Amino acid sequence: MEEKLRSINLHKKPNHIAIIMDGNGRWAKGKGMQRVFGHRNALTAIRETADTASDLGIKFLTLYAFSTENWNRPKFEVDALMSLLVTTLKKELPEFIKKDVKINSIGNISSLPKNAQKVLAHVIESTKNNKKITLTFALSYGSREEIVNAIKNISKKVVNNELDVEKINEKVINNHLYTFNLPDVDLMIRTSGEQRISNYLLWQMAYAELYFTEVLWPDFRKEHLFDAIIDYQNRERRFGKTSEQIESDE
Distance CA 216, CA 52 (A): 18
Q: What is the pLDDT of residue 5?
A: 85
Neighbours of 138 (CB within 10 A): 27
Do residues 197 and 141 lie in contact, with contact meaning Cβ atoms separated by under 8 Å?
no
pLDDT band at 127 (very low <50, low <70, confident <90, very high): very high
The amino acid at 59: K
Per-residue model confidence (pLDDT) at position 249:
61
Report whether pLDDT(180) > 70: yes
Determine the Cα–Cα distance for residues 224 and 220; give it in Å rounded to an integer.
6
Residues 73 and 246 sit within 8 Å (Cβ to Cβ): no
For residue 30, give the nearest of 220, 213, 219, 223 by alpha carbon.
Answer: 219
Is residue 246 predicted with pLDDT exceeding 60? no
Structural domain contains residue 222: yes
Residues paired with 107 in a beta bridge: none
Asked if the model's pLDDT at residue 196 lies above 60, the reply is yes
pTM (2 d.p.): 0.93
Do 30 and 196 contact (CB within 8 A), yes or no? no
> Domain range holding 195?
14-142+185-234
What element of type H or E holds 19?
strand 16-20
pLDDT tens digits for 38-59?
A: 999 999 999 999 999 999 999 9
Average pLDDT over residues 52-71: 97
CATH at residue 40: 3.40.1180.10
* Whether residue 241 has pLDDT greater than 70: no
Q: CA dist 39 to 24, 68, 191, 196, 227, Å?
A: 6, 17, 14, 20, 23
Q: What are phi and psi of 108, to 5 degrees?
A: -85, 75
Under the banding of pLDDT at 50, 70 and 90, the label for residue 6 is confident
- Categorize the per-residue pLDDT at 4 as very low, low, confident or very high, splitting at 50, 70 and 90: confident
Q: Is residue 241 part of a domain?
A: no
Which has the closest alpha carbon to 173: 154, 160, 155? Answer: 154
Work out the average pLDDT over 193-206: 97
**Domain presence at residue 77:** yes
Catalytic residues: 22, 70
pLDDT at 238: 64
**Count of the separate structural domains present in the chain:** 1
Beta carbons of 133 and 107 less than 8 angstroms apart: no
148 located within any domain: no
Residue 30 lies in a domain: yes
Mean pLDDT for the chain overall: 94
Q: Which whole number is the average pLDDT over 61-86?
A: 96
Residue 173 in any domain: the answer is no
Q: With a cut of 70, say whether residue 243 has pLDDT above it.
A: no
How many angstroms separate the CA atoms of 203 and 170, rounded? 10
Residue 20: pLDDT band by 50, 70, 90 thresholds?
very high
- Position 239 scores a pLDDT of 59
CA separation for the pair 231, 210 (Å, rounded): 10
Whole-number pLDDT of residue 98: 98
- Residue 194, in any domain of the structure: yes
pLDDT at 245: 54
Q: How far apart (Å, rounded) are the C-alpha atoms in residues 199 and 181?
A: 20
Residue 247 domain flag: no
Report the share of the chain in percent with pLDDT over 90: 90
Residue 240 pLDDT grade (very low, low, confident, very high; cuts 50, 70, 90): low
